[in-house]
Chains A and B, each alone.
Chain A
């Protein structure tokens, strides 16, 4: 299988209260293209830290991360930001829609950010909102939607610029089981239709079987891998 991302010997040490705390310890990981990769683990196991490093939001203390053979360590802050804008999408546990923008504008903003030309934007917005089943509520403000609906808008926003990878940190964490399962179905269909790769974290055992690949984190180490 073609690998889109690779992490080699990642170590992340945080210094808190004068003491070192190792959040990630020599982690190696491969992410196949056009797959759903699930990173499971208890709270504090280091899965969000790994996700942040893979998505360029954080840098490792040592080790390398490659995105299509580009080493993060060789890129400047500006280049990393560009990489994020053009190739990476995010779905956060806290949903994090922009509260002053309605559903349409939230998606529009991510397209503008990715530099999508004006004439292509409207069609794409409608397309992704239809894809997540929110085309009827595109003019609604975040405050007027339920948690699941907001998460779907967040997913639409993440996929709209057609990133190569979407990182989703506990995307179902704030949702009930049924809505969580619907989001997972949506992820599966997006991989198929949009050809993207999704890396998500979760601690919900019901969702473990739905990924193409499952990694398990424990005390900063990748202890079990199931392909």
Chain B
């Protein structure tokens, strides 16, 4: 049996190879799925944690418990309570790497008296302190003044303590100052004294350790743990609060253990002392995970469909060529089931080989597609998370099973065929089923109706996507349905066109054209499959390319617009405090110290920048006759420098160049440019005045008014560099709502004059060839402390390296490559088998006096009307699908409304690549066919007919 089956596989030669190829691709595409899925999830997880670090400046993988111990608590009591409160979850997460464990022990607030007498008042002052201890504090802190606790030279029983600058300020303490604490119980008086040994601040290079910024603590002082232990034992310090934190290494977290972390957090919610700071990261991860799974599923589906169609086609070809053998077997008494079993066995053998080849191929394809940073553009870095996973094996087995099913489908349909039926089957010239039952038109109507619905729901879909809900997979599937339906429909049109052309010249056609037209119109059914395959490949290829370009370019456009210039940065500004007395007693005032600006101008001289400018960007309140709003973005600009540095796509200001608005502002010292939504909502226009208030936007005086401006509106704009009108917030119910922000742009000088100097951004137009990294290192080497820095290159890179974009670019590229490979092979299979099947016919033609040249001509005519028209139709369908669906894809990927409208992008390069591949495919096919026709021996061919 096995020998017979192996012989059968061998006899089928290149068709068996094609089937093996199809099955291998199926296994590869499916095994690619778990690698891509888990790799992307791990990548996503890493990125959400890193985003927390970079954007919120907190270390995000911390869990802990807080509890209060009754007076008289001991160190061992605290330790055993920690193991009670945190023991279970620490055990559950014991496989995660722990960076550090911190325990802060803090007493109730103690009131002491400073030994320093206030000069003039001659009385001791009261000081309220939370006496605390935190092991290892000093190794993560810098001592700004005084000494550390360990080095402090104790005088008698005094206990050294460290305080922050803020506590020093709040409590009016100085280094060396001693505070006495007394406790009277009946007649017994006990006391101890704390001496300020030094002022500490967080070591800024050690962000992991500091869960609470010392700068925000108002009354904490830190002593050594052994002192704390002694105090707790000997003094009635009241209840003791304990803060226990475990800092996990988030780089160690992956798609598996994060689920356990989530489970622990869910369970521990009932524990009142439990806390964690992973909520936002987990929320982002969950939202991203849903997107990843949906995207992966919907982008992989057309590819799978194509591979299955390929397998079905090859299997069909094999069965066609073996139909006589099947009929003979059946007539010899072999049951239908036995025939199916025979094919199942041969397919199982091929599937086994497909698994062996498909597993590494799938992994390779996954790595290749994960490295796609754009459509058909690869960058082989950052692929560590895409590692082999055990799930590849079940996926491979599933692939083999599905493959066997699809191979057996035509077998099942043909296994019952008798010799008589088989003979009549050979002459089928009718229409394919889809054409007969108008399946193309039905599917087209369904997809257009779905598209219409999706377009109507765009706004709600946007908000759903922004709330972290995944997009409806049907939306993505709709584009595939459309491509298939439109492909079939254009094929129907092509058939009609060919029939029409044939009919127009029916009487006059030369023999070659006559035979070609009849060949095309009468073999629609057998040609149909490869034609559909061809249309799908070209249209999906083009659509994938355009969709990927559209998503990537729109992302980049938004980045460009939001940034406004090549790069922007915010230097750290220091503040000076001073005391003023405006009659209501002494009051602390704050003033920013403007850093030296000339170092930025020096960037121009150093060849790193073409132009730099400073831009004050702040929030303010605006009032006019009709309305007011406190959601107004204000920019203070130096008009000329801003115009030279910032950039705005001319398409976004089509009627009038934005430089005209800058000129208008330059001419009006007290003028402002406002956004069109402000002008509309406030009922103001050019010539009207606004009142603009600015508050302190820094603690602790955020509510104090910094100043007021009363400028005149000189221009109204829709778009402005760095200004996006739309932003999204969660309402009280946690629902995402869309809001509009207003813009006012004023002269830099008038902003400074109204609100005093305040931190400004530096906008830089980079010199050609210069990079943001070079600028950044040039500045840091000069000791510039940069609070934030944004630049186009990094933002685009981050965007392209994000898990979801890797999936998108990867899947689009992969499905295109798979389609091209399968289509090329499918195309060759079709034509070679078509020539082989027509050998007798060609022999007859030749015997009747047709030349080899005529037969070639006949094949060229067939190609013109079947292949070339099909390719063109595929291109047309791809373009229409892009126009209709790329916008919808945009909603899924860029759900936020934006000043920059979604544009559809095509790239000539993609069309050239696609055309080149098809051309190579056609040329290869033409060469093979030419060789076949040339080697055609008339007498041999006629002999075949006799056989």
In the complex, identify which listed stretch (B438-446, B758-766, B937-945) lies at the interface while the others stay far away. B937-945
CB <8 Å contact, B511 and A109: yes
Q: At the interface, yes or no: A93 with Cβ under 8 Å from chain B? A: yes
Q: Would you list which residues of chain B between 422 and 481 have a CB under 8 Å from chain A?
A: 423-424, 426-427, 429
Q: At the interface, yes or no: A151 with Cβ under 8 Å from chain B? A: no
Q: Would you list which residues of chain B between 849 and 868 have a CB under 8 Å from chain A?
A: 849-851
Q: Could you tell me the distance between the alpha carbons of A214 and B423 in the complex, rounded to whole angstroms? A: 36
Q: At the interface, yes or no: B246 with Cβ under 8 Å from chain A? A: no
Given contacts A113-B511, A118-B507, whether A99 and B427 have CB atoms under 8 Å apart is yes
Given B507, B515, B849, B851, which contacts A98 in the complex, CB threshold below 8 Å? B515
CB <8 Å contact, B429 and A100: yes
In the complex, identify which listed stretch (B517-525, B811-819, B918-926) lies at the interface while the others stay far away. B517-525
Q: Could you tell me the distance between the alpha carbons of A48 and B943 in the complex, rounded to whole angstroms? A: 10
CB <8 Å contact, B519 and A100: yes
Q: How many A-B residue pairs have CB under 8 A?
A: 84
In the complex, identify which listed stretch (A84-92, A175-183, A186-194) lies at the interface while the others stay far away. A84-92
Nearest-CB distance from A106 to chain B (Å)?
A: 10
Q: At the interface, yes or no: A34 with Cβ under 8 Å from chain B? A: no
Q: At the interface, yes or no: B157 with Cβ under 8 Å from chain A? A: no
Nearest-CB distance from B845 to chain A (Å)?
A: 8
Given contacts A92-B945, A98-B844, A142-B427, whether A57 and B938 have CB atoms under 8 Å apart is yes
Nearest-CB distance from A37 to chain B (Å)?
A: 19
Given A85, A105, A118, A121, which contacts B849 in the complex, CB threshold below 8 Å? A85
CB <8 Å contact, B847 and A57: yes
List B contacts of A93 (CB < 8 A).
945-946
- Name which residue of chain B comes closest to A84, CB basis: B849
Q: At the interface, yes or no: B840 with Cβ under 8 Å from chain A? A: yes
Given A78, A118, A141, which contacts B851 in the complex, CB threshold below 8 Å? A78
List B contacts of A9 (CB < 8 A).
none
B interface residues, tally (CB under 8 Å): 30
CB <8 Å contact, A96 and B851: no
Q: Could you tell me the distance between the alpha carbons of A82 and B854 in the complex, rounded to whole angstroms? A: 13
Q: At the interface, yes or no: A143 with Cβ under 8 Å from chain B? A: yes
Q: At the interface, yes or no: A52 with Cβ under 8 Å from chain B? A: yes
Nearest-CB distance from A16 to chain B (Å)?
A: 13
List A contacts of B424 (CB < 8 A).
143
Given B515, B523, B843, B847, which contacts A84 in the complex, CB threshold below 8 Å? B847
Q: Could you tell me the distance between the alpha carbons of A145 and B296 in the complex, rounded to whole angstroms? A: 54
Given B518, B840, B939, which contacts A100 in the complex, CB threshold below 8 Å? B518
CB <8 Å contact, A57 and B849: no
Nearest-CB distance from B515 to chain A (Å)?
A: 6
List A contacts of B427 (CB < 8 A).
99, 141-144
Given contacts A93-B946, A100-B519, A143-B424, whether A52 and B939 have CB atoms under 8 Å apart is yes
The secondary-structure label for the interface of chain B is helix
CB <8 Å contact, A118 and B508: yes
A interface residues, tally (CB under 8 Å): 37
Given A86, A90, A100, A108, which contacts B522 in the complex, CB threshold below 8 Å? A100
List A contacts of B402 (CB < 8 A).
none
Nearest-CB distance from A40 to chain B (Å)?
A: 17
Given contacts A78-B851, A112-B511, whether A96 and B523 have CB atoms under 8 Å apart is no
Q: Could you tell me the distance between the alpha carbons of A118 and B507 in the complex, rounded to whole angstroms? A: 6
Q: At the interface, yes or no: B841 with Cβ under 8 Å from chain A? A: yes
Q: At the interface, yes or no: A94 with Cβ under 8 Å from chain B? A: yes
CB <8 Å contact, A113 and B518: no
Contact with B along A56-68 (1 / 0, CB 8 A): 0110000000000
Given A86, A92, A101, A112, which contacts B942 in the complex, CB threshold below 8 Å? A92
CB <8 Å contact, B849 and A101: no
Given B423, B519, B844, which contacts A92 in the complex, CB threshold below 8 Å? B844
List B contacts of A110 (CB < 8 A).
848
Given contacts A57-B938, A113-B511, whether A94 and B840 have CB atoms under 8 Å apart is yes
Nearest-CB distance from A189 to chain B (Å)?
A: 23
CB <8 Å contact, B939 and A94: no
- Name which residue of chain B comes closest to A144, CB basis: B427
Given contacts A94-B946, A105-B518, whether A82 and B849 have CB atoms under 8 Å apart is yes
Q: At the interface, yes or no: A81 with Cβ under 8 Å from chain B? A: yes
Q: Would you list which residues of chain A between 143 and 176 have a CB under 8 Å from chain B?
A: 143-144, 169-170
Q: Could you tell me the distance between the alpha carbons of A90 and B945 in the complex, rounded to whole angstroms? A: 14
Q: At the interface, yes or no: B906 with Cβ under 8 Å from chain A? A: no
CB <8 Å contact, B514 and A81: no
CB <8 Å contact, B426 and A109: no
CB <8 Å contact, B939 and A58: yes
CB <8 Å contact, A96 and B945: yes
Q: Could you tell me the distance between the alpha carbons of A143 and B942 in the complex, rounded to whole angstroms? A: 19
Given B423, B426, B848, which contacts A90 in the complex, CB threshold below 8 Å? B848
Nearest-CB distance from B906 to chain A (Å)?
A: 40
Given contacts A84-B848, A94-B942, whether A109 and B515 have CB atoms under 8 Å apart is yes
List B contacts of A86 (CB < 8 A).
849
Nearest-CB distance from A138 to chain B (Å)?
A: 15
Q: Could you tell me the distance between the alpha carbons of A159 and B946 in the complex, rounded to whole angstroms? A: 21
Q: Could you tell me the distance between the alpha carbons of A143 and B429 in the complex, rounded to whole angstroms? A: 10
Contact with A along B109-152 (1 / 0, CB 8 A): 00000000000000000000000000000000000000000000
List A contacts of B938 (CB < 8 A).
57
Nearest-CB distance from A92 to chain B (Å)?
A: 6
CB <8 Å contact, A90 and B847: yes
Q: Could you tell me the distance between the alpha carbons of A38 and B509 in the complex, rounded to whole angstroms? A: 37
List A contacts of B515 (CB < 8 A).
98, 101, 109
List A contacts of B851 (CB < 8 A).
78, 81
Q: Could you tell me the distance between the alpha carbons of A182 and B549 in the complex, rounded to whole angstroms? A: 71
- Name which residue of chain A comes closest to B508, CB basis: A118
Q: At the interface, yes or no: B510 with Cβ under 8 Å from chain A? A: yes
List A contacts of B507 (CB < 8 A).
118, 121
CB <8 Å contact, A113 and B939: no
List B contacts of A112 (CB < 8 A).
509-511, 514
List B contacts of A96 (CB < 8 A).
840-841, 843-844, 942, 945
Q: Could you tell me the distance between the alpha carbons of A107 and B680 in the complex, rounded to whole angstroms? A: 80
Given A52, A82, A98, A170, which contacts B841 in the complex, CB threshold below 8 Å? A98
- Name which residue of chain B comes closest to A105, CB basis: B518
- Name which residue of chain B comes closest to A58, CB basis: B939
Q: Could you tell me the distance between the alpha carbons of A81 and B511 in the complex, rounded to whole angstroms? A: 15
Q: Would you list which residues of chain A between 104 and 124 have a CB under 8 Å from chain B?
A: 105, 108-110, 112-114, 118, 121
Contact with A along B922-940 (1 / 0, CB 8 A): 0000000000000000110
Max chain A CB contacts within 10 Å: which of B508, B511, B848? B848
Contact with A along B487-510 (1 / 0, CB 8 A): 000000000000000000001111
Given contacts A94-B840, A105-B518, A109-B511, whether A99 and B426 have CB atoms under 8 Å apart is yes
List A contacts of B423 (CB < 8 A).
143
- Name which residue of chain B comes closest to A167, CB basis: B847
List B contacts of A55 (CB < 8 A).
847
- Name which residue of chain B comes closest to A112, CB basis: B511
List B contacts of A95 (CB < 8 A).
945
CB <8 Å contact, B429 and A141: yes
List A contacts of B844 (CB < 8 A).
90, 92, 96, 98
Q: Could you tell me the distance between the alpha carbons of A93 and B841 in the complex, rounded to whole angstroms? A: 14
Q: Could you tell me the distance between the alpha carbons of A141 and B424 in the complex, rounded to whole angstroms? A: 11
Nearest-CB distance from B287 to chain A (Å)?
A: 58
Nearest-CB distance from A7 to chain B (Å)?
A: 17
Which 3 A-B pairs have CB atoms at the shortest separation, nearest pair first?
A143-B427, A85-B849, A94-B945
23 interchain pairs, CB-CB under 8 A: A48-B939, A55-B847, A57-B938, A58-B939, A82-B849, A84-B847, A85-B849, A86-B849, A92-B942, A93-B945, A94-B946, A96-B942, A96-B945, A99-B426, A99-B841, A100-B429, A100-B522, A101-B522, A105-B518, A112-B514, A141-B429, A143-B423, A143-B426
Given contacts A92-B844, A94-B945, A169-B942, 11 further A-B contacts (CB under 8 A): A84-B849, A86-B849, A88-B849, A92-B942, A94-B840, A95-B945, A96-B843, A105-B518, A110-B848, A143-B424, A143-B426
Interface residue ranges, A against B (CB under 8 Å): 48, 52, 55, 57-58, 78, 81-82, 84-86, 88, 90, 92-96, 98-101, 105, 108-110, 112-114, 118, 121, 141-144, 169-170
